[in-house]
Amino acid sequence: MVPPTIIRLLLGMQIFALVDAAQLCDTNVTLFSEKWGREGEIFNVTISFQNVTKKTVFNLVPDWDRLQVSDTVFEVMEDSEVDMNMTSNQFYLYKVKISCLNGDSEEESENFEVPVSRTVTSNTVALVFQRIMTVSLAFAMLLMGCELKFEIVRAYLLRPMAPAAGMFCQYVCMPVMAYVIGYFFLSDDIYARYGLILIGCSPGGSFSNFWAAIWGGDLDLSVTMTFCSTVASFGFTTFWVWLFGRYVLNADKPIDLPYLQLFLSLVSLVVPVFIGLLITYKRPDLSAKLVKLSRPFFMVMMLLVTTMGTYANLFFFSVVSWYHLVAPAVLGVCGYVVGILFASFLCLKKEQIIALSLETAIQNAGIAIMILQSNLASPYGDMALLPVIGYLTTTSGPLNIVMYSLYRLFTFLTEKIIGSKGENQELRKVVAHDNKAYSN
């Protein structure tokens, strides 16, 4: 039995036709369609049987019952082509198993891909959410700029040991770990594996700065590393995307990177931060008031991103599998651990360790999403997007919200317990003193 031919995708172009072929029971079987359908549509699929030497019965079974097929059994006696209808109300990269019994009564089978693309409908809530987030991010970065100390940022840039450590973790450790983790967890899903790799290759994002501020990390170092990694992404992200696109995804054409999006990310970081620094320089009293708003605003923003982001990507939960969650979760945890270990090895301070760890693990997922949307048509881009959304779900916002809530609860209870013990000790001292005075 000959395995299916390797299908090479023309990236950056819509995929209208896909041919998958194999040899089963000495017959060349090909499954193809002139135009694959969208979810909810009925589309035509053709099976071609060539080099038929004897009467053979072929069976076709979808891997998921959400794909409905008009015919499942084909009795072939000569070279022929059979048309059938397929439909599904759920986008997915389906596989159909075509099998037959050979002369020794042994089953020969092969899986063939059936792509059903997603129907993108206009979502007013998602659009409003996107506009609100754009303004909120700009204001959040302005608040962050009010907290920065220009002399410290300048010192980090002049003696960049800590930023260089963050760059090494982000652009060497993370891509390699993403490749290895994808190899073990996503070896059978090449698109999901590529999506995970894109997360590992992306620069740091603004959310790492927010969490560095909330967790009490070195905010000056965090913003400096985000700036440096975004600038370096024009080279490093390009290299890794080219390397993995060529040798993992087997792309015939170079993958286009959203350089405009990278530039806009850089601008959206630098301009509000610069305005915040300017406010601190010109109006330190106003800057102090704005700084008091930063932590509550960051937490509200993280909760908003988590809830509204989940709503805008509800489709994710209809097709996600356990490995779409476990693989990115492992990558995120490894990112945190590597950042902590590397910073500790360099004997950095606690605040710097927090900042470097967060900067390593929390990537700019928007860059990965832009690359997938601009290079892979649905459902291929959607399947690659699953580990990206899984990463946001398991590693970035929700995980930090839960951990920070538990941390604050633990701190509150500890203070209460210690405070109660302290009050009891003071009360005992007062009572003992009064008893002693009374006895005298």
Please check whether residue 129 is in contact with residue 280, taking contact to mean a CB–CB distance below 8 angstroms. Answer: no
When mean pLDDT is compared over 120-129, 284-293, 391-400, the highest value belongs to 284-293
Burial pattern 319-354, b for ≥16 Cβ within 10 A else e, equals beeebbbbbbbbbbebbbebbbebbeeeebeebbbb
Which of 32, 31, 42, 35 has the alpha carbon at shortest distance from 89? 42
Query: What does the alpha-carbon distance between residue 140 and residue 272 come to, in Å, rounded to a whole number?
Result: 8
What digits encode the pLDDT tens for the residues 122-136? 556 666 767 777 787
Whether the per-residue pLDDT at 330 is higher than 50: the answer is yes
Query: What does the alpha-carbon distance between residue 430 and residue 419 come to, in Å, rounded to a whole number?
Result: 16
Measured over the CA atoms of residue 312, residue 314, residue 315 and residue 316, the dihedral's sign is positive
Please check whether residue 76 is in contact with residue 58, taking contact to mean a CB–CB distance below 8 angstroms. Answer: yes
Instruction: Calculate the CA dihedral of residues 426, 429, 430, 435 and round it to 10 degrees.
Output: 160
Q: Which structure tokens are listed for 105?
A: 């009564």
CB atoms within 10 A of CB 292: 11
When mean pLDDT is compared across 15-19, 206-210, 216-220, 337-341, the lowest value belongs to 15-19
Query: What does the alpha-carbon distance between residue 111 and residue 50 come to, in Å, rounded to a whole number?
Result: 18
Average predicted confidence (pLDDT) for the chain: 80
Which of 150, 134, 141, 135 has the alpha carbon at shortest distance from 294? 141
Which stretches within 313-349 are classed as H helix? 316-319, 322-345
Query: What does the alpha-carbon distance between residue 361 and residue 339 come to, in Å, rounded to a whole number?
Result: 8
DSSP of 220-253 = HHHHHHHHHHHHHHHHHHHHHHHHHHHHTS--SS
What digits encode the pLDDT tens for the residues 12-47? 333 333 447 889 998 999 999 988 888 889 999 999
Is residue 84 helix, strand or coil? strand
DSSP of 370-410 = HHHHHH--TTHHHHHHHHHHHHIIIIIHHHHHHHHHHHHHH
What digits encode the pLDDT tens for the residues 231-272? 888 888 888 888 877 776 665 555 666 666 667 767 776 788
| Strands of the 73-76 sheet, one edge to the other | 73-76, 56-62, 92-101, 107-116
Element (H, E) at 168: helix 161-168
Please check whether residue 355 is in contact with residue 217, taking contact to mean a CB–CB distance below 8 angstroms. Answer: yes
Question: Taking the complete model, does pTM exceed 0.85, yes or no?
Answer: no
What's residue 410's pLDDT?
83
Which of 239, 214, 211 has the alpha carbon at shortest distance from 225? 211
Whether the per-residue pLDDT at 51 is higher than 60: the answer is yes
What's residue 293's pLDDT?
81
Which of 33, 22, 25, 29 has the alpha carbon at shortest distance from 48? 29
What's residue 432's pLDDT?
52
| CA atoms within a 13 Å half-sphere pointing along the CA-CB vector of 333 | 9
Please check whether residue 146 is in contact with residue 291, taking contact to mean a CB–CB distance below 8 angstroms. Answer: yes
Query: What does the alpha-carbon distance between residue 333 and residue 207 come to, in Å, rounded to a whole number?
Result: 16
The backbone region for 57, taken as left when phi is positive above 0, alpha when psi lies in -120 to 50, beta otherwise, is beta
